[in-house]
Amino acid sequence: MGTFSLVQKSGVVAVGLRRRLVSGKPARTFLGCVVLFLAFLGLSEASYLFVFPPASNAVFWLPSGLTMAWFLRTTKAHWPAWLLVVFLAEVLVVLQHGQPPALAMAWGAAGGLLPFTGASLLRRRTRAGFVFRRPWDVARLVWLGAAVGAIPGTLVAAAASVVWLGDPSFWHVAIGWWSSDALGVLLLCPLFLTWTEPAPPRSGRAVEALSLLVILTGGAWWVFGSVRPREIESALPALLFPLTAWAAIRFGPRGATAATVLVDFMAALHTSRGRGPFAMGSTSVAARVLTVQTYVSVLNGLVLLLAMVVVEEQKARAAAERAEQRMKFLAMASEILSESLDFTTRFAALARLCVQSMADWCVIDVVGEGGVVQRLGGAHREPGSEALLRQLEEQYAPDATSPHPAAEVLRTGKPMLLPLLTDELLQAHAVDAEHARLIRALGTCSAMAVPLSVRGQTLGVLSLGCAAPGRHYSPADLELATELARRAAISIDNARLYRDAQGAIRLRDEILSIASHELNTPMTSLKLDVQTLKRVAAPSGEPLPPSLTRVERQIQKLARLIEELLDVTRITTGRMHLQIEDVDLPALVRDVTERFTEDFSRAACSLTLHAEPSLVGRWDHLRLEQVVTNLISNGIKFGSGRPIEIWVGQADGAARLTVRDHGIGIPPDRLPYIFERFERAVSSRAYAGLGLGLYIVRSIVEALGGSIRVESTVGSGTMFTVDLPPAGPPHAAGKEGER
Ligand code: ADP
C-alpha cells in the first residue's frame, strides 16, 4: 500500500471515529470521553517538547487544538461530558507537575473555557456545526477560535498563577498563556478538522506524497537543524513556503495541515534546542519564542488559506465541467427527440444515449391509447443484457397496481430516487422473487424513475439504473433525469398535438368539401329561378322591383362564397386544372372593371386605370378574371370612399398588374399571413369574408408560374403586385379540367 493510500486510510478512520462519537449512544459517549482524556494527556506531554528553557511553559499548548476541534465536531448535548473530561485531564496534568490542587482546579477550569468559548463563537449561526471548507472559515477559526476564544481561559489561568504561584506580572503570564493556547488551536485544530472531514478519494499520488514528505522533512531539518550559522541563515525559513504551498495545492487542506504541522514542530523543536536561524538570529529566549510563534502563525494561516482557495477553485471547475457535460447531454437528447416524429425510433435512441453516460440500463414506458403502458425504449450498456430487459417487459410490464417504481411514479406523478437499492427496497418494489432476481441480474445498485410530465399530465416514466457498486444516484442526477424526462414529455405532447391538428385539418377540409358541393347544387337552381322571376317581373326591360334586385345580389354573394369554398377544396386536393390559352391582360382587366362600375359608385370609389393597349400571354382566362375580381373587390371593401388605381403593363420581362387602394391598410405583423387559408387581418364583425380570397389568388398566380406580393401601410392603403410570365406556367399543357 502506498504512503498516500495509508494517509487516505487514516483519514477514513478519523472520519469513522468522529461519526461514531457524534451518534449519541451512551457507550459511544463513554468511549469518546476515554479517547479525549487519553489524547489530552498525550498531547500535553508532547507540548513539553516545545519548552524553551529556562522558560517552563510550552510554546504551543497542543491540547487546546484537540479540544477546540472536538467541541466543533460534536453535538452540543455532549459538551458537559467533554468539559468534565478536559477539566479532569488538565487537573491531573497540573498535579503531576507538582503544583498545588487549587491551582490545578483553576487551570482545569481555564482548559475547559477555551474550547467552550471558541466553539460557541464559531458555531453561533450554524446549526449543523462548524464547516471548514472555505477561505472565510480559516479567517473565522484564527480570529474567533484562536485569538478571541483563548482570552477567557487565559485570564483565569493568569489570575490563578498570580494567586497560587506568586507570579509577579499578571499580563506577562496572560500573554504567554494566550499565545501558546491560540497557537495550539491554529496548529492542531485545522489538522483534526480537515482529517475528520470527508474528502474526495484520490489515487495515483502515492509517489508524489512520499517525495513531498521526504523533501519537506529533509528541508525543514536542514533549515532549522543547523548548529553553525550560514551566510543567508535568516532567509532560509522562507524556502519552506513553496514546499508547504505544494502540499496545499496538490493535496488540499489535508496536505496543507499535515505539512504545516511538520514544519511547525521542526521549527519549534530545533529553535528550543538553540539550533537554526531563529535561535541564532535572536539573542533572548523571549525573542526566539516570539519569532517561532510569528513564523508558525503566518505559515499556517497562509498555507491553509491557499488550500481553501484551491478547494474552491477545484469545486468551481468541477461544477462548470458538470454543467457543461449536462448541457451537452441535454443538447444531444433534444436533437434525438427532434429527429423524427416516430416515438419508437426516438426513444430507442434516447435510451441508448442514457446508457452511454448516466446509466447502465434505461427503459422508457409511455401510456398509450386506453391507458395501456407501452415500453418504447429500452437499452443496456452491455448489449448482451438487453434480453433481460425484454424478459422484464414481457413478464413484469408496469401496470396500475404493481409496486414497480415506474408504476408508482405513474400513479403519483412524482420522481423516485433510490440511491442505494438494498435487498429490502428491492423486495418492496418487486412483484415477486423472480422480478427481484431479474432486476438484480441487470446489475442494479442504484435507480431512479422520473415522470414524463407535461401540462399537469403524466405521459410515461423514464427509469434508469446503475450497476457500479460505488456509484449512487444523487439529487443532482435526479434533476438531470427530470429535465430529460420533461423534454421527452414535451416531444410526445408535441407529436400528439401535431397528429391531432392534422386530423382536425383533414376533417375540416372534408366537411368544407362536402358542404360546398352540397350547397352548390341548390344554388345553381336558385340562380336559374331568379333569372326566370326577372323575366316574368320585367318582360320588356322595365326596372326590377327592389326586393328582387336585393335577392339577386344576395344570391350572387352566396354563390361567390360557395365558389371560394369549392376552389379551396380543388386547390388542396390538387384538382384545380387550368385551361391555358392566349389572353390579353389589359382587355381582361378593362372587362372586369366595367363589371364593377355599379360597385365603385356605390362605394364612392373613383377608379384610375393605366393599361397598355395590349399584352398577350399564355394564361387561363377565367382564373385570371378571378384574380382581378378578388383584388378589386378587396380594394373596394377595405378602401371604401377612396380612389383605386390599377396599372397593367410590362416590367422585368413579365406582365405586371398592380391594384392600389388608399384604405385601412394591413398591420405589419399580419402581412406574412394574409395569403394563407382563413387568415384575416380584420375582425369578421367589421368586414364580412372567409379569409380565402387571397389564398385562391396566390394559388392561381403561382399555378400560372407567376408571383404576388403586397405592400401596405396602416391607414394609408395597400398595393398588390402580380407578375405573370407571358409564356404561362412552366409545363402548360392547355388541358381541359375541372375549374
Ligand atoms: P377576406 O377579404 O374574405 O377577409 P382575403 O383572403 O381576400 O379574405 O383577405 C384576407 C385579409 O387580408 C382580409 O381579411 C383583410 O384583413 C386583408 N386584406 C386583403 N386585401 C386588403 C386590402 N386591400 N386592404 C386592407 N386589407 C386587406
Q: Residue 14 — very low, low, confident or very high, per pLDDT cuts 50/70/90?
A: low
- Which residues, other chains included, contact 603 with Cβ-Cβ below 8 Å and sequence gap of 6+? 636, 640, 641
Cα(72)–Cα(53) distance, integer angstroms: 34
Q: Whose CA is nearest to atom 20 of ligand 1?
A: 634
Q: Which atom of ligand 1 is nearest to the CA of 689?
A: 3
**Mutational test site, ligand 1, from 634, 640, 696, 712, max ligand atoms within 8 Å of CB:** 634
**Strands 644-651 and 654-661, bridge-based pairing:** antiparallel
Give the count of beta carbons closer than 10 Å to the beta carbon of residue 132: 24
Cβ(277)–Cβ(224) below 8 Å:
yes
Q: 620 C-alpha vs ligand 1 centroid, how far in Å?
A: 24
Q: Could you report the per-residue pLDDT of 651-692, keeping only the tens digit for each? A: 989 999 999 999 999 999 999 999 998 899 998 888 988 899
**Mutational test site, ligand 1, from 680, 699, 711, max ligand atoms within 8 Å of CB:** 680
Q: Where in the chain is the domain with CATH 1.10.1760?
A: 1-199
Q: Which atom of ligand 1 is nearest to the CA of 665?
A: 25
Q: 708 C-alpha vs ligand 1 centroid, how far in Å?
A: 14
Which residue in 557, 593, 575 sits closest to 693, CA to CA? 557
Cα(376)–Cα(374) distance, integer angstroms: 6
Q: Whose CA is nearest to atom 11 of ligand 1?
A: 680
Q: Whose CA is nearest to atom 21 of ligand 1?
A: 634
Q: Which residues pair with 660 in a beta bridge?
A: 645, 719
**Mutational test site, ligand 1, from 567, 631, 638, 695, max ligand atoms within 8 Å of CB:** 638
Q: 95 C-alpha vs ligand 1 centroid, how far in Å?
A: 107
**Percent of the chain at pLDDT exceeding 70:** 94
Cβ(736)–Cβ(711) below 8 Å:
no
Q: 14 C-alpha vs ligand 1 centroid, how far in Å?
A: 82
Q: Whose CA is nearest to atom 19 of ligand 1?
A: 634
Cα(153)–Cα(83) distance, integer angstroms: 13
**Strands 416-418 and 373-380, bridge-based pairing:** unpaired
Q: Which residues pair with 651 in a beta bridge?
A: 654
Q: Could you report the per-residue pLDDT of 551-595, keeping only the tens digit for each? A: 988 898 888 888 888 888 888 888 888 899 999 999 999 999 999
Q: What is the DSSP letter of 641?
A: T
User: What cell was used for 471?
Assistant: 456509484
622-626 long-range contacts, CB within 8 A, separation 24+: 622/579, 622/739, 623/578, 623/700, 623/703, 623/704, 623/739, 624/583, 624/585, 624/588, 624/700, 624/704, 625/588, 625/591, 625/592, 626/567, 626/696, 626/697, 626/700
- Which residues, other chains included, contact 185 with Cβ-Cβ below 8 Å and sequence gap of 6+? 64, 65, 68, 114, 118, 141, 145, 146, 149, 150
Which residue in 296, 350, 370, 372 sits closest to 61, CA to CA? 296
Q: Which atom of ligand 1 is nearest to the CA of 680?
A: 14
Q: Where in the chain is the domain with CATH 3.30.565.10?
A: 576-735
Alpha helix (H) ranges present in 225-284?
240-272, 276-281
Q: 681 C-alpha vs ligand 1 centroid, how far in Å?
A: 7
CA distances from 233 to 244, 281, 300, 580 (A): 19, 8, 21, 109
The SS3 assignment for 457 reads strand
- Which residues, other chains included, contact 126 with Cβ-Cβ below 8 Å and sequence gap of 6+? none
CATH topology (fold) of 576-735: Heat Shock Protein 90 (3.30.565)
Q: Could you report the per-residue pLDDT of 632-649, keeping only the tens digit for each? A: 999 999 998 999 999 999
Cα(289)–Cα(283) distance, integer angstroms: 11
Q: 637 C-alpha vs ligand 1 centroid, how far in Å?
A: 8
Cβ(559)–Cβ(527) below 8 Å:
yes
Q: Which residues pair with 721 in a beta bridge?
A: 658, 709
Cα(479)–Cα(323) distance, integer angstroms: 12
pLDDT at 735: 45
Whether the per-residue pLDDT at 734 is higher than 80: the answer is no
Q: 537 C-alpha vs ligand 1 centroid, how far in Å?
A: 37
Q: Residue 182 — very low, low, confident or very high, per pLDDT cuts 50/70/90?
A: very high
**Mutational test site, ligand 1, from 694, 700, 714, 719, max ligand atoms within 8 Å of CB:** 694
User: What cell was used for 685?
Assistant: 364583425
Give the dihedral of Cα atoms 107, 112, 117, 120; nearest 10 deg: 180
CATH topology (fold) of 1-199: Arp2/3 complex 21 kDa subunit ARPC3 (1.10.1760)
Q: 98 C-alpha vs ligand 1 centroid, how far in Å?
A: 110
pLDDT at 738: 40
Taking all residues of the chain, what is their mean pLDDT, rounded to a whole number? Answer: 89
Supply φ then ψ for residue 196, to 5 degrees: -105, 0
Give the count of beta carbons closer than 10 Å to the beta carbon of residue 543: 8
Whether the per-residue pLDDT at 8 is higher than 70: the answer is no
Domain 335-488 is classified in which CATH homologous superfamily?
GAF domain (3.30.450.40)
CA distances from 604 to 629, 635, 645, 714 (A): 18, 12, 14, 21
Q: Which atom of ligand 1 is nearest to the CA of 720?
A: 23
Which residue in 124, 185, 190, 194 sits closest to 153, CA to CA? 185
Q: 622 C-alpha vs ligand 1 centroid, how far in Å?
A: 21
Q: Which residues pair with 378 in a beta bridge?
A: 363
The SS3 assignment for 722 reads strand
10 Å CB burial of residue 573 (0-12, 13-18, 19+) is: exposed
Whether the per-residue pLDDT at 124 is higher than 90: the answer is no
Q: 650 C-alpha vs ligand 1 centroid, how far in Å?
A: 26
Cα(165)–Cα(167) distance, integer angstroms: 5
User: What cell was used for 390?
Assistant: 425484454
Which residue in 542, 575, 577, 659 sits closest to 610, CA to CA? 659
Cβ(83)–Cβ(116) below 8 Å:
yes
CB-hemisphere CA count at 13 Å for 395?
16
Taking CB atoms and a 6 Å cutoff, what residues make up the pocket around ligand 1?
634-635, 638, 661, 663-666, 674, 680-682, 689-695, 718
Q: Which atom of ligand 1 is nearest to the CA of 630?
A: 7
Give residue for cell 358542404: 515
Q: Where in the chain is the domain with CATH 3.30.450.40?
A: 335-488
Core vs surface per residue 589-624: b (16+ CB within 10 A) or e: beebbeebeeebeebebebeeebeeebebbbbbebb
Cβ(152)–Cβ(112) below 8 Å:
no
Cβ(148)–Cβ(117) below 8 Å:
yes
Cβ(57)–Cβ(176) below 8 Å:
yes
Q: 737 C-alpha vs ligand 1 centroid, how far in Å?
A: 29
Q: Which atom of ligand 1 is nearest to the CA of 661?
A: 23
**Mutational test site, ligand 1, from 666, 679, 701, 714, max ligand atoms within 8 Å of CB:** 666
**Mutational test site, ligand 1, from 565, 645, 661, 674, max ligand atoms within 8 Å of CB:** 674
More confident residue, 57 or 192: 192
Instruction: Say how many Å lie between the first and final Cα of the chain, rounded.
Output: 92
Q: Could you report the per-residue pLDDT of 86-116, keeping only the tens digit for each? A: 999 999 999 998 999 999 999 999 999 999 9
Q: Could you report the per-residue pLDDT of 499-527, keeping only the tens digit for each? A: 899 999 888 888 888 888 888 888 888 88
Q: 378 C-alpha vs ligand 1 centroid, how far in Å?
A: 53
Q: 403 C-alpha vs ligand 1 centroid, how far in Å?
A: 60
Q: 639 C-alpha vs ligand 1 centroid, how far in Å?
A: 11
Q: 665 C-alpha vs ligand 1 centroid, how far in Å?
A: 9
